[in-house]
A and B are shown apart, each in its own frame.
Chain A
Amino acid sequence: MEIRSHRFRVVDILLLCGVILPPVLGMVIKILTNSPSGGIEISGARIYFTLDLPFQSLPITEAQVNSWLVVISIFFLCLYLTHGLAVKAVTKRQLLAEWIVKTTENMISGNMGDYFIKVARGAFAPFVAGIMALSAFSSLLSLLGLYAPTSDINVSAGWALLVFILITYYKMKCGLPHYLKSFAEPVAFLTPLNVISEVATPVSMAFRHYGNILSGSVISVLVASALQGLSSMLLGWLPGFLGDIPFLQIGIPAILSLYFDIFGSLLQAFIFAMLTMLYVSGGFAIDDWELLQAKKKQKLQTQQ
Chain B
Amino acid sequence: MQNLEVISVNLWQILISLCNLLIIFLILKKFLYAPVKKMLAARQAEIDSDYAAADEARRAAESDRAAYAEKLSAAQAEADEMRKRAVADAEHRSDKILAEAKEKADSMVRAAENEIALERQKATDDIKKEIAEVSTQIAGKLLEREIDENDHRELIDSFIDKIGERS
Contacts and interface: CB of A to CB of B under 8 A. Distances in A.
A67 B35 contact: no
Given A35-B1, A87-B43, A161-B18, A56 B28 contact: no
Given A71-B20, A162-B18, A157 B9 contact: yes
Contact of B4 (A61, A78, A86, A156): A61
A177 B1 CA distance: 52
A59 B32 contact: no
Chain A facing B: main interface SS: helix
B9 to A, nearest CB: 6
B39 A154 contact: no
Contacts of B7: 44, 153
Given A152-B13, A158-B15, A75 B6 contact: no
Contact of B5 (A44, A53, A63): A44
Given A55-B11, A97-B32, A158-B18, A214 B24 contact: no
B3 A43 contact: yes
B40 A98 contact: yes
A197 interface: no
A205 interface: no
B150 interface: no
Interface residues of B, number: 39
Given A44-B3, A47-B2, A59-B10, A158 B20 contact: yes
Nearest to B42: A87
A98 B17 CA distance: 28
B24 A162 contact: no
B16 interface: yes
A46 interface: yes
Interface string A80-104: 0110011100000010011011000
A133 B28 contact: yes
Contacts of A47: 1-4
B21 A214 contact: no
B21 to A, nearest CB: 5
B3 A45 contact: yes
The 6 closest A-B pairs by CB, nearest first: A158-B17, A44-B4, A154-B13, A158-B18, A58-B12, A126-B29
Interface of B: 1-25, 27-29, 31-33, 35-37, 39-40, 42-43, 46
11 contacts: A45-B4, A59-B4, A61-B4, A71-B20, A71-B27, A82-B31, A86-B39, A87-B42, A126-B28, A159-B17, A161-B14
